[in-house]
């Protein structure tokens, strides 16, 4: 693919691609399993505006950059080039195809850093742009997917595509001793995180397709698993309870109507074949859908089957918000792709600690930061790299 580089030489474009790729990575935990992507609109060799894909299901980098260019003082007819780290999408996903947005903006040349790794889409976006008369230049080596979005390469790898399962984000809060429940006299014996961390949980819930928890958490905490302030969404995540023997109480708060400004997805309870029919009916009457899943050692639900069921129900990005029993089984089963671990300045605690698992865990692209009084660590897990 050719382009006459009127205004910028290859070296300058390469370093722009590299810097866009680096900045795009800042959003890796917000967008995964989607790729990290950065884009810039140029006019006469000058960057008019930049944009990044910054939220799962949110607008793509090209669209954000074009919108930012619209808000700039440089009029549209002077935009000559769009630089983007990954081939623009050409099909309708959660958002309309970027190729259409680029053509609608009247961009005459596009510089792309990497081709789409998916064989079904690879090169298609570029061919559509060329067919519409746009000059396209593929400038590989500066924003390689291996560097910018290794998680996306795994997500689109043959083996994962052949046996699909959702992207799982495990989020948990721990005390300084690594325990998931605080001492009885702290946070009503339930809450570990600061207000700021709890607010982030709401943002995370608003950006997943489903939330999964175990019946132990329902019995101990009676959570709602809804999306509420400061976040909001018109499509709240579906709620799944892993409950082999239908111990979930029909009067659990999960079944209550969400309050003002709060939204909750449908509740599904997964149980083992042979569960009590009376409890089943009571839970259905309370508003749940109850489904059977195969068992593991006739004890617990088989997590691989749970994952498959979630996938078949259309859930791609799933949040695991659960206690130590189910969390450990998910982690040790290699079914978690990404973790968000909140450590609060609380001494002691109750219940099992996952410190042993953490010590052995091979974390990829970790990020440590503060949130209120808590320390937050986010990372991808190397089992999937």
Which residues have a catalytic role annotated? Answer: 62
Which is closer to ligand NAP, CB of 260 or CB of 273?
273
Query: Distance of CA 38 to CAs 114, 143, 371, Å?
Result: 12, 10, 26
Binding ligand NAP by CB under 6 A: which of 7, 329, 353, 365? 329
- Our CB check for ligand NAP shows the closer of 318 and 327 to be 327
Structural tokens at position 35: 């790729």
**Binding marks (x or -) toward ligand NAP, 306..325, rule CB under 6 A?**
---------------xxxxx
For residues 315 and 311, give the distance between their C-alpha atoms in angstroms, rounded to a whole number.
Answer: 5
Using the rule CB under 6 A, is 216 a contact of ligand NAP? yes
Q: Contact with ligand NAP (CB under 6 A): which of 139, 244, 269, 379?
A: 244
Residue 323 CB partners (closer than 8 Å, separation 6+)? 180, 181, 213, 214, 216, 217, 220, 351
**Residue 135, beta-bridge partner list:** 109
Q: Which is nearer to ligand NAP, 161 or 291 (CB)?
A: 291
224 lines the binding site for ligand NAP (CB under 6 A): no
**One residue of 215, 225, 227, 310 binding ligand NAP per CB under 6 A:** 215
44 dihedral zone (left: phi>0; alpha: psi -120 to 50; beta): left
CB of 68 to ligand NAP, least distance (A): 37
| Residue 279: count of CB within 10 angstroms of its CB | 19
Largest CA distance in the chain: 74
Asked whether position 326 contacts ligand NAP by CB under 6 A, the answer is yes
Taking the complex as a whole, the smallest distance from the CB of residue 259 to ligand NAP amounts, in Å, to 21
Residues 349-378 touching ligand NAP, rule: CB under 6 A, are 351
Nearest to 111 by CA among 80, 133, 132: 80
Q: Residue 192 or 319: which CB sits closer to ligand NAP?
A: 192
Residue 224's nearest CA partner among 282, 188, 267 is: 267
C-alpha–C-alpha distance, residues 278 and 290, integer Å = 12
Residues in contact with 343: Cβ distance below 8 Å, sequence separation at least 6, in sequence order? 173, 174, 175, 176, 374, 375, 376, 377
Residues 6+ apart with CB under 8 A from 112: 84, 85, 86, 87, 88, 126, 136, 137, 138, 139
Window 156 to 195, contacts with ligand NAP (CB under 6 A): 172-173, 180-181, 190, 192
For ligand NAP, which is the closer residue by CB, 74 or 304?
304
Of 22, 76, 220, 292, the residue at the interface with ligand NAP (CB under 6 A) is: 220
- Would you count residue 76 as binding ligand NAP (CB under 6 A)? no
What is the Cα–Cα distance from 356 to 347, expressed in whole angstroms? 18
For residue 232, the minimal CB distance to ligand NAP (Å) is: 23
- The least distance separating ligand NAP from the CB of residue 352, rounded to whole angstroms, comes to 7
- Closest distance between ligand NAP and the C-beta of residue 175, in Å? 9
Give me the least distance between CB of 279 and ligand NAP, in Å please. Answer: 12
Please, which residue, 102 or 326, has the CB nearer to ligand NAP? 326
76 vs 190, beta carbon nearer ligand NAP: 190
CB crowding 155-175: b at 16 or more within 10 Å, else e: bbeeebeeeebbbbbbbbbbb
Among 22, 76, 224, 300, binds ligand NAP (CB under 6 A): 300
How many residues make contact with ligand NAP (CB under 6 A)?
30
Which of 217, 248, 268, 275 binds ligand NAP (CB under 6 A)? It is 217
Which parts of this chain interact with ligand NAP (CB under 6 A)?
Answer: 172-173, 180-181, 190, 192, 213-217, 220-221, 242-245, 247, 300-301, 303, 321-327, 329, 351
């Amino acid at each position: 693919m050719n382009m006459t580089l009127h205004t910028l030489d290859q070296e300058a474009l390469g370093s722009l691609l590299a810097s866009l790729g680096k900045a795009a990575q800042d959003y890796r935990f917000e967008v995964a399993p989607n790729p990290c992507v950065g884009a810039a609109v140029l006019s006469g060799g000058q960057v008019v505006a930049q944009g990044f894909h910054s939220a799962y299901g949110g607008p793509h980098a090209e669209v954000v950059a074009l919108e930012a260019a619209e808000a700039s003082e440089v009029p549209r007819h002077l935009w000559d080039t769009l630089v983007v780290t990954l081939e623009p999408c050409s099909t309708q996903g959660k958002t309309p195809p970027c190729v259409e947005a680029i053509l609608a903006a009247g961009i005459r040349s596009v510089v792309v850093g990497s081709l789409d790794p998916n064989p079904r889409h690879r090169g298609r976006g570029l061919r559509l742009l060329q067919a519409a008369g746009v000059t396209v230049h593929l400038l590989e080596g500066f924003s390689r997917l291996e560097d910018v979005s290794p998680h996306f390469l795994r997500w689109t790898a043959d083996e994962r595509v052949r046996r699909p399962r959702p992207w799982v984000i495990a989020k948990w809060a721990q005390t300084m001793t690594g325990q998931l429940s605080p001492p009885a006299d702290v946070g009503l014996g339930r809450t570990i995180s600061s207000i700021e961390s709890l607010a982030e949980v709401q943002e995370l819930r608003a950006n997943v397709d489903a939330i999964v928890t175990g019946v132990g958490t329902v019995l101990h905490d009676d959570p709602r698993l809804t999306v509420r302030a400061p976040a909001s969404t018109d499509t709240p995540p579906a709620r799944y309870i892993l409950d082999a023997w239908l111990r979930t109480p029909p009067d659990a708060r999960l079944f209550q109507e969400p309050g003002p400004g709060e939204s909750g997805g449908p509740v599904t309870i997964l149980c083992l074949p042979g569960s009590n029919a009376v409890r089943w009916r009571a839970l259905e009457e309370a508003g749940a859908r109850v489904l059977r899943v195969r068992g593991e050692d006739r004890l617990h639900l088989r997590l691989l089957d749970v994952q498959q069921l979630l996938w078949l129900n259309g859930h791609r990005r799933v949040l695991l918000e659960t206690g130590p029993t189910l969390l450990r089984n998910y982690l040790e089963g290699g079914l978690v792709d990404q973790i968000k671990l909140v450590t609060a300045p609380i001494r002691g605690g109750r219940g099992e600690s996952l410190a042993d698992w953490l010590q052995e865990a091979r974390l990829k692209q970790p990020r440590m930061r503060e949130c209120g009084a808590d320390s937050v660590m986010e990372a991808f897990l190397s089992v999937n790299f």
